[in-house]
A and B are shown apart, each in its own frame.
Chain A
Amino acid sequence: MIETSWIVGLGVILFFIGLLGAFTRKNAIVVLMCIEVMLNAANLNFVAGATHYSDVDGWVFTAIAIAIAAAEVAIGLAILLSLYSTQETISLDEANILRN
């Protein structure tokens, strides 16, 4: 049996990888993928907690979070499509017309 603290540590590492990716990468799709990584880090924590306490709630939350993430990806991709169709780019550096 792997220690719960190891699994939580993995979740933290995954979360910061995702966070770092989200604000260093230019490509919007990569940023979206990084957000997914952060979500999954959170899911991992839920699962670890559920196993640790033998409580079913964590699994239920994980299932809901995965469903929401799927919906969020659909919306995110739609936003990216519309960004591409209007700005002809998905580089976040160039999509900055809300500046000031």
Chain B
Amino acid sequence: MVDSNNEWNLLAPIIPFVLVAPILYMQGWESVEAAFLIVVVPLLTFPIILVVGQVYNGNETWKNRYKEGGIFGLGSLALSLSIALWIAYDYIAGSAHFEMNSVVEPFSWLTFDVLHHDGSQWDISSGFADIGVGVWIDPVSLMLLFVATFLCFLICWFSLGYMNTDPINEDSNHRFYGVFVLFAIGMFGMVLADNFLWLFIFWEIMGLCSYLLIGFYYWKDSAAAAAKKAFLTTRVGDVFLMIGLLMLYNIYGSLEFSIIFDDPSTGVGGALVESADLNWALLMLFIGAVGKSAQFPLHVWLPDAMEGPTPVSALIHAATMVNAGLYLVFRMVPFVDVHVSGVAGLEDFALIVAWIGGITAFMAAAIAFVQNDIKKVLAYSTMSQLAYIFTGLGAGLLFLNIGEYHAGYFVIGASMFHLFNHAMAKGMLFMASGSVIHEIHHAHHHLHHDDHDFDPQDMRNMGGLASKMPVTSTAMMFGSMSIIGIPLIGGFWSKEGIIAETWLACLHEEPLMLGPAILVLATAGMTGFYMTRMWLMTFAGSPKTDVAEHVHEGTPWIKEPLIILTLITAIGGFLLALLGVVDYLGGEKDHLAMHGLLDTLKHAFLPDDNELRIVGWTTILLAAILGPIIASRVHGGRLAEGAEANPLVGWLVNLSSRFGSQDVSELADSQLAEALQRRLYFDDLYEWIVANTAIPFASFSAWFDKNIIDGFIKQIESNSTSGSVTVRSITTGSTRDYILMAAVGMLSIFALIWGVSA
């Protein structure tokens, strides 16, 4: 194993990439003008990685020096990150050139003539639909851009350690890095897109990359099946998304953000937009978002997507791609914001969003209780946390649609803040789980060379790793705390806001919000249980197998991203709350500094509303105390004799053993546990539905094609064959017959002419 310090000189090729942003700055460029490079540079890099990787596959320099293309991928992502940071700096510093919605549109891409009906007749208006190539930057796209570029960079870094040291990936890593960079293009492009068509195109690029990367180990049947499942399930959502875009186009006559958001209440030709029309269009878009963000009922693909390599799970299925759906829902804010120029009467849509979120949050958390695969727990946790954000967005859309301007933007801000916290924490948790899996796999490889049944992802094979993997255990501890919402850490700041505002919406505005409100509150406690359970099963107690005893952290490139993200998770939420990030969407910049922090703290601990105070403290009690204690009773335990962990982790592990222990084997054998193990039978249900609808229909279609359509064609063919056989018998080949025929024919013509003229 090469020492990690000796490998840092491999980073030399990324220096020119990093220098691009400073050079452009010195040349007098505006940050927003350079934004297109965020997409264009990776777009130029990914084919190079794939082609060069194919040509030099197996070459020693390519493998050791350039990490099979990983260094180039890292370079282009570093460039994207540096430009994103530049834009973010301009925004935070309030640069004079930075507008709230910065649009740069260098050229038109497509201009098409459109057939439209002007009451009495159909008419063609030329140049009506104009699809430009442009960049749209506002606070949310900026936030998501930062999350995406930052995590793409860190996870690419992590992959250099995780992918390149695993012999199973040898000589196919260029495929990984190529598609990885292509995925980054999709994500950056979707965030920067300035119209819904481009958003959709990049959305599909991400779907493709998700498919390719889940199926990275395509020779494994389970991976190939999981890739297909993910692709087809998200396709269901994407079809609806496309229908929704067509409906939007029908209403507004354009898909440009600048045109639609300029005044969402007037449609094409100045007509007032009917809330019923818009309701359906938004609902279709939302189904697309549900598919992409793995929400009920299109959630079934996400747990299976864990078949992909762990960096892929970290990036695509936890930190970035699944946020695309949330981003799309966030884009709907101008449609419902009656305070500006939204369309009133969309409360039903907002309720649907909140209910879908509530149901998914609860269901995923329940299923996560019984998962033993460390990545599956995280996958269900991702679903559950994304559902929180959907619930928050639903509540926010509801508030905005009934004119509660401040509460609406507060909860939408909190949702976007939760997106940030969740992406950082979950990206890190997946990388940490990758680190655990990698080292377990490594240790197992040393100990039992021939045993192939061992599952390195099964938490029942771990235990006691806190002393063996100090960095990973600390990282995972902070990540779990952020997801649980332990006060003052990461996700606490945002989750509190979502739960509180959902209850506020329920108590003061709309009784039907009670369902999502109760579900998210219950889920807070369940999150406390399953995240603690995962952490304790992995790191606490004594090692459950001899493999776990021989684990040690040693792979280069893996620790740095974990340390960076641990810091961000631990204090990032605090810092952003300090900046008043929850309020930033309302554009009230006076919330900067201490005032914002106090405001957020007050909102979390001592809200003015009495009911909210009860809700807030119940959340803290459930999530931070009750859930973890129950998990400790079941799975807690001291480290083995003589094992040392770092003080905080060691203290937590030993604390977990003090709550006594509880035997849950009876519960674990119950029908409920069985149902949760089977993922509440959703897979079976969908399989049954497909087996009873799609497959009979497909067989009927096949029969119809084979017998009716093909039969018709074949009948024509056989008739003309037999006809020509009959006809050709008169070609005798004898010259005299031909002469006779010619003479008879000639005489008949003469006879005809004679007869006609006579």
Contact = CB atoms under 8 A, between A and B. Distances in A.
Interface in B705-758: 728-729, 731-737, 739-740, 743
Nearest to B743: A19
A14 B740 CA distance: 17
Given A96-B734, A99-B733, A22 B739 contact: yes
A84 to B, nearest CB: 15
A96 to B, nearest CB: 3
Contact of B731 (A24, A28, A100): A100
Contacts of A24: 736
B728 A92 contact: no
Nearest to B736: A23
Contact of A23 (B728, B732, B733, B740): B740
A38 B439 CA distance: 105
Contacts of B735: 28, 31, 92, 95-96
Contacts of B731: 98-100
A99 B740 contact: no
B412 to A, nearest CB: 83
Nearest to A99: B733
A97 B732 CA distance: 9
A93 interface: yes
B733 A96 contact: yes
B736 A100 contact: no
B734 A93 contact: yes
Contacts of B739: 22-23, 31
B732 A92 contact: no
Given A100-B728, A100-B729, A92 B743 contact: no
A99 B732 CA distance: 4
Contact of B736 (A92, A97, A98): A92
B733 A98 contact: yes
Nearest to B730: A100
A22 B733 contact: no
A79 B731 CA distance: 21
Contacts of A96: 732-735
A99 B730 CA distance: 9
Contacts of A92: 734-736
B45 to A, nearest CB: 67
B730 to A, nearest CB: 9
Contacts of A19: 743
B729 A22 contact: no
A100 B728 CA distance: 5
B743 A23 contact: yes
Contacts of B728: 100
A23 B729 CA distance: 20
Interface in B212-229: none
A96 B733 CA distance: 4
Interface string A22-50: 11100010010000000000000000000
Contacts of A95: 735
A100 B739 CA distance: 17
A50 B734 CA distance: 38
A98 B730 CA distance: 11
B746 to A, nearest CB: 10
A77 to B, nearest CB: 15
A27 to B, nearest CB: 11
B736 A22 contact: yes
A95 B734 CA distance: 7
Which of A19, A24, A28 has most B Cβ within 10 Å? A19
A93 B743 CA distance: 19
Contacts of A99: 731-734
Contacts of B743: 19, 22-23
A97 B737 CA distance: 14
A31 B743 CA distance: 14
Nearest to B746: A19
B740 A97 contact: no
Interface string A70-100: 0000000000000000000000110111111
Contacts of B736: 22-24, 31, 92
A28 B731 CA distance: 19
B724 to A, nearest CB: 11
B377 to A, nearest CB: 78
Which of A28, A93, A97 has most B Cβ within 10 Å? A93
Nearest to B729: A100
B193 to A, nearest CB: 68
A53 B736 CA distance: 37
A24 B736 CA distance: 7
A28 B736 CA distance: 10
A25 B679 CA distance: 93
A19 B734 CA distance: 16
A100 B740 contact: no
Interface string B408-445: 00000000000000000000000000000000000000
Interface in B538-572: none
Interface string A4-27: 000000000000000100111000
A99 B743 CA distance: 20
Top-8 shortest CB links A-B = A99-B733, A96-B733, A23-B736, A98-B733, A92-B735, A23-B740, A23-B739, A22-B739
17 contacts: A22-B743, A23-B736, A23-B739, A23-B740, A28-B735, A31-B735, A31-B739, A92-B734, A92-B735, A93-B734, A96-B733, A96-B735, A98-B731, A99-B731, A99-B734, A100-B729, A100-B732
Given A24-B736, A31-B736, A93-B734, 18 more contacts: A22-B743, A23-B736, A23-B737, A23-B743, A28-B735, A31-B735, A92-B734, A92-B735, A96-B732, A96-B733, A96-B734, A97-B733, A98-B731, A99-B732, A99-B734, A100-B728, A100-B729, A100-B733
